[in-house]
Amino acid sequence: MPRIGVLALQGDVREHARALEESGATAVSVRRPAELETVDGLVIPGGESTTMWKLADTFEMLEPLRLRIKDGMPAYGSCAGMIMLADRIEDGIEGQQTIGGIDMVVRRNAFGRQVDSFESDLSFAGASIHAVFIRAPWVESVGASVEVLATAEPGDRIVAVRQGPVLATSFHPELTGDVRVHEYFVNMVREL
């Protein structure tokens, strides 16, 4: 059974842990570099990307996260986690840093403010799922080695991508009770 961490600095930690457990993984909270070393994969939850970046810096997690992902550790980021896994971001605050790992440009809060949050049905990697978007980013562009797994209206915006062992969605599958996105990630971890 894969041991998958959930970055527990801020965001939907409990919800992701539950979905991982239901998907056949052992879920553990990760707050420190030593805890990061004990996991086979990592989920970076939704939340607020600037707060997450500042906390990761405070807890001295930025470089260890970058190194583990660069070394091939599977990672999955939802919403703010997608922003954290982007190599480049638009509309970030001055100096905002990411962990990186996916050759993409992500626009923060692209779908609008909290009041603009919405739900939509979409096709994710060939499966029809219900997606929850809360102050969600979208992907402006991807590099040649990035696979687009889902798009959403308006304008067929890219909302799910994968590059090798790194997965990201701009929506929150942990809030729907449907664990298929988490199962997809757990299977990615098992394959490595």
> Are the CB atoms for 19 and 179 separated by under 8 Å?
yes
Question: Which of these is catalytic: 16, 35, 37, 79?
Answer: 79
Question: Which of these is catalytic: 172, 182, 183, 191?
Answer: 172
Distance CA 192, CA 187 (A): 9
Distance CA 175, CA 17 (A): 12
Distance CA 92, CA 15 (A): 26
Q: And the tokens for 61?
A: 């997690």
Bridge-partner residues for 162, per DSSP? 147, 167
Q: 104-127: buried (b, 16+ CB within 10 Å) or exposed (e) per residue?
A: bebbbebbeeeeeeeeeebebeee
Q: Could you confirm whether 79 is annotated as catalytic?
A: yes
Question: Which of these is catalytic: 16, 174, 182, 183?
Answer: 174
Catalytic residues: 79, 172, 174
